[in-house]
Structure 1
């Protein structure tokens, strides 16, 4: 199962489709202008726009498809999903090309615009989906025949695990699960699953097992008496890029959380490792870069004012540097305008409070209006932070938070942010308990992560800054 080769096939045919579409569309436009164009081919091949389009238009489409996530999980594509994704992506791309390249063309009347739009969309969508349909159909059939499989482990060792195992291997059409073993939750003398699959270890060893066995899918099939461990299991899998599926209880079916893509497959609740669609992830990064650049340019006088104020308020450097833990647990340095006296933590790490004597008079002002945070836009440009995301903490405090709330590890799945839902609701936390309380809002953000949620949080942050309600 060569994923790179399969992805390369999609890339090549998408490139070829864009090339063919542009050529046909260009000829269509030329024929509209001059019905006798085929009598003098040189007019086409001598046109610089034709060759520029041949080079750059396919590259534009490939970039758009990458942003849409078209080449991710290449063996898990479904034909109907492919149809919808291709339709939406092509529609967005054609609208962009139409307004950038075509709208300034000379036309006889506005019907030419509408006809051109329909022709360009029909060609691009029809040719692209034709090749994608062939590739996806061949892949789906190989999965259904069991020729392509995904290394899968079952978490569970008794009745539920055994039932789900039999249900999956006896499916009329294969779902592609290639079972490599099972993992237990509670230790017992005998495991029913040992009659069917090799025992791989305890769920606390999941990260090691996933890496060693190259696992792509995990099915949680624990007993009712083991339900208290499901949160810990998901936390253990936080760093693993795997699809998690859970056997549903009756209440899950009643609340509509059980979704299936194929009527022949066993119904399971799927927990995808992707918190946001790929196109939103790329767009989020573009927004981070654009907004940070604009802030750094237009707020440069404010930077200068704040820097002078910090320098005059107390002896010491203008900027304060501190190590924080970021995406996937990687440390990075976060910069702020210094709002405390030098050696504020000479007795060890301390959280700030409302009437903290370590804060300078000018520091209270810039904290109130969050001006101390603005150097972090440089960190956003570097890609270590985002505009919106859970606030990064020091390892010293993470260790303490984890003792009370081990699910804090889930926050490391995303880049930390300058502002967050927890920051908007809580501001600066002054105790570990407040950090834990703020954590629930950041977890809610992960569950509802989207560009619209980011915009809401940014709007509320701006209102807090303008009203001086920062703390």
Structure 2
């Protein structure tokens, strides 16, 4: 069964995005009108936001949902459009001083819009996933070229019916040799493919050009499949005139969008925790001072981004001079830890002062755990890939800490590295929020140490 609904998907998504935007606008206006201020030129603001969104959405095509379905990538593209939209709206409002709009209304509008879009996109992806698995909305695919590469591709299609690809035929390189060129083109036309995957190893460049011309003349997508198998998220295609080159980057090249949103989130989240949690900070300081001799805070040199040392802050959980014998890792029954310190560590409340490091830009809320130079040297010797983690800011919490926990020895530190390397290859807002929620669960369940 091969019913195509793709032609309706983009306009439906575009219109539903616009509807969701106006729902967010109405909800934000209701909240501001009720709790903050009623003196808002709401009609002008609504008109401005809608016109700018239609323009930005049309240019960025954020309503396009491509195959395979990857919700994270789609939301990241949407965030880029949201950032552009915000910058344009702010430019009109503040630089040209055309309207006086409540900041609260803007804050609630954009927050609710993104929240509603997450729900909307999740529903769309769920529906697409369901109908494609049922055999609808399929793309007819023809595979041509090397047998081994083709088999790998076909197995991938069979494992992922949500891709919505229906394999129609395979033409091997040996069969191509026996086909006259005209007969080959006629066979391709008779199969009416939507996409042709060219699995190349030794495919003749003239034949490849003929296939590209065929795709242009018949509105068929031509996709080239390399025989390489890469475990690298930083692969990209760079065109040098008419020569496409696969570029494998050694560094995690974060886009401006990711850097901007991550730093903005760090600042807003840190300020919120430090302001709202001020009474808790003062209480923890008092209890720490009363339960054992020594200062409330403990500071230590750690290594940050690009091997730059910085001073990390914590609530003191150990007796003073606990490391007079040299750097040591803590354990469950470490005699250096005070009674109150065990509670701080179990609840991870000892980490709260590190929000000051985040605010200063030395750390991020989420990132690999910062270590001391003494242990970094040993880790690099045991696991050279640890160097990659020093290319981004360390974090107050990390996937390694919530999934593996604190390490009591070098072997455990080595085992934890693989979790942080996974995060390094998948840095985005969604994964950061997931790690923060898992961290809160660890704090509530007192599973820290």
Q: TM-score, normalised by structure 1?
A: 0.48
- Pairwise CA distance, 1:420: 0.6
- Pairwise CA distance, 1:85: 12
What does residue range 366-381 of structure 1 map to in structure 2 within 5 Å? 366-381=344-359
Match of 2:432 in 1: 454
What does residue range 86-105 of structure 1 map to in structure 2 within 5 Å? 90-95=84-89
What does residue range 88-237 of structure 1 map to in structure 2 within 5 Å? 90-95=84-89
Match of 1:251 in 2: 228
2:311 to 333, 338, 343: 333
Using the alignment, how far apart are the partners of 1:269 and 1:282 within structure 2?
A: 25
- Pairwise CA distance, 1:357: 1.1
CA offsets 1:19-50 (integer angstroms, 9 cap, x no match): xxxxxxxxxxxxxxxxxxxxxxxxxxxxxxxx
Match of 1:364 in 2: 342
Quick one: structure 1 residues 297 and 249, their matched pair in 2 at CA, closer, same or farther if it must change by over 3 Å?
same
Quick one: structure 1 residues 361 and 257, their matched pair in 2 at CA, closer, same or farther if it must change by over 3 Å?
closer
Using the alignment, how far apart are the partners of 1:316 and 1:381 within structure 2?
A: 26
Match of 1:260 in 2: 237
Using the alignment, how far apart are the partners of 2:375 and 2:438 within structure 1?
A: 27
Q: Does 1:398 align with 2:373?
A: no
1:313 to 291, 294, 297: 291
Q: Does 1:443 align with 2:421?
A: yes
- Pairwise CA distance, 1:251: 3.3
- SS of 2:407's partner is coil
2:267 to 276, 286, 289: 289
Match of 1:423 in 2: 401
What does residue range 38-49 of structure 1 map to in structure 2 within 5 Å? none
Is the contact made by 1:275 and 1:449 (CA closer than 8 Å) also made in structure 2?
A: no
Quick one: structure 1 residues 420 and 433, their matched pair in 2 at CA, closer, same or farther if it must change by over 3 Å?
same
- Pairwise CA distance, 1:252: 3.0
Is the contact made by 1:390 and 1:420 (CA closer than 8 Å) also made in structure 2?
A: yes
CA offsets 1:336-395 (integer angstroms, 9 cap, x no match): 111011111121111000111111110000111111001111111111111011110000
- SS of 2:301's partner is strand
Match of 1:173 in 2: none
Is the contact made by 1:275 and 1:446 (CA closer than 8 Å) also made in structure 2?
A: no
CA offsets 1:414-469 (integer angstroms, 9 cap, x no match): 01110011111122111001101110111111111112211111111111112222
Using the alignment, how far apart are the partners of 2:440 and 2:242 within structure 1?
A: 50
Is the contact made by 1:353 and 1:430 (CA closer than 8 Å) also made in structure 2?
A: yes
Stretches of structure 2 that go unaligned for 5 or more consecutive residues are 1-59, 61-77, 102-224
Quick one: structure 1 residues 91 and 348, their matched pair in 2 at CA, closer, same or farther if it must change by over 3 Å?
closer
Using the alignment, how far apart are the partners of 1:358 and 1:423 within structure 2?
A: 21
Match of 2:322 in 1: 344
CA offsets 1:70-114 (integer angstroms, 9 cap, x no match): xxxxxxxxxxxxxx9997764443455678876779xxxxxxxxx
- SS of 1:252's partner is coil
Quick one: structure 1 residues 256 and 345, their matched pair in 2 at CA, closer, same or farther if it must change by over 3 Å?
closer
Using the alignment, how far apart are the partners of 2:343 and 2:265 within structure 1?
A: 28
CA offsets 1:133-180 (integer angstroms, 9 cap, x no match): xxxxxxxxxxxxxxxxxxxxxxxxxxxxxxxxxxxxxxxxxxxxxxxx
- SS of 1:321's partner is strand
- Pairwise CA distance, 1:277: 1.4
Stretches of structure 1 that go unaligned for 5 or more consecutive residues are 1-67, 69-83, 106-247
Match of 1:353 in 2: 331
- Pairwise CA distance, 1:398: 0.6
Q: TM-score, normalised by structure 2?
A: 0.50
Match of 1:277 in 2: 255
Quick one: structure 1 residues 421 and 309, their matched pair in 2 at CA, closer, same or farther if it must change by over 3 Å?
same
Quick one: structure 1 residues 272 and 87, their matched pair in 2 at CA, closer, same or farther if it must change by over 3 Å?
farther
Extract structure 1 runs of 4+ deviating beyond 4 A: 84-90, 95-105, 253-259
RMSD: 3.3
- SS of 1:435's partner is helix
Using the alignment, how far apart are the partners of 1:325 and 1:430 within structure 2?
A: 19
Is the contact made by 1:275 and 1:447 (CA closer than 8 Å) also made in structure 2?
A: no
Aligned length: 248
